[in-house]
Amino acid sequence: MTNYKKIDIDNWNRAELYKEFIQMRTSIYDMTVRMDVTHLVNYCKENNQSFFADFLYIVLKELNNIPEFRMRIIDGEPCVYDKVGCSFTVANNFDYFVNRSCEFEKYHTFYESVLTIINKAKNEKNIHPENTDLERTDLIYFSCIPWIDYQSMTLPVITTPFGSDDQTYNIIPCIGWGKYVKEGQKYKMSVHMKVSHAFIDGKPLADAFNNIQNALNIFSL
């Protein structure tokens, strides 16, 4: 598990907001934004790159740059990880999906790891790989529905592996996106984020979308 430190709640400027939202039945809210992926689509086509792996890297990198997206509840206390990895869905060859995870590394290592994981997972039936620590919280969840272009989406509320109603797992950010489509001279795609108001207010959420868009506009190796 990645290193983390406890948040000094006595000197945390949004401690009262955290206490208020964490006591709610759920602190979750969602936002879907239409994003311009023209540059990345063209770049991947020209360089024979995986759009999925490159988009996953861009988003994970930008979210790691925002501390609120690394904040979690550990042993009942608010903490912040040094970095977080990703757990993403893979459509296997048996007409359903499986979940696989990957650590956040430098681009080339991350890219090759994602492709290797996907190719292996396509022929696997187990939803989670053996010896997976289902209690990990140092992840961001990702899911892609590349068969349809949608305008909005609601992601499921996550409880703990034991079915508890506490927010330890509920507050983990979830990211989803659909099929990119041509709109005039541009490629557009809906990107969805489900986050917890206990940690992520409107400003860091807006920063996340804006930073991702900026990174999409200039991405290159």
Q: What is the pLDDT of residues 111-145, one digit of tens each?
A: 999 999 999 999 999 998 876 777 889 999 999 99
**Do 138 and 74 contact (CB within 8 A), yes or no?**
no
Domain residue extents for the chain: 31-218
Confidence of residue 170 (pLDDT cuts 50, 70, 90): confident
pLDDT at residue 29 tops 80: yes
Q: What pLDDT score does 154 carry? A: 80
Cα separations in angstroms, 18 against 71, 137, 140, 208:
11, 18, 20, 20
Cα separations in angstroms, 1 against 4, 65, 81, 166, 180:
9, 19, 9, 21, 34
Q: What pLDDT score does 165 carry? A: 57
Q: What's the CATH code, domain 31-218?
A: 3.30.559.10
Tokens of 37: 């992926």
Mean local confidence (pLDDT), 44-64: 98
Q: What pLDDT score does 104 carry? A: 97
User: 109 CB contacts (<8 Å, ≥6 apart)?
Assistant: none
**Do 216 and 37 contact (CB within 8 A), yes or no?**
yes
Q: What pLDDT score does 160 carry? A: 58
Distance CA 4, CA 197 (A): 20
pLDDT mean across residues, the chain:
93
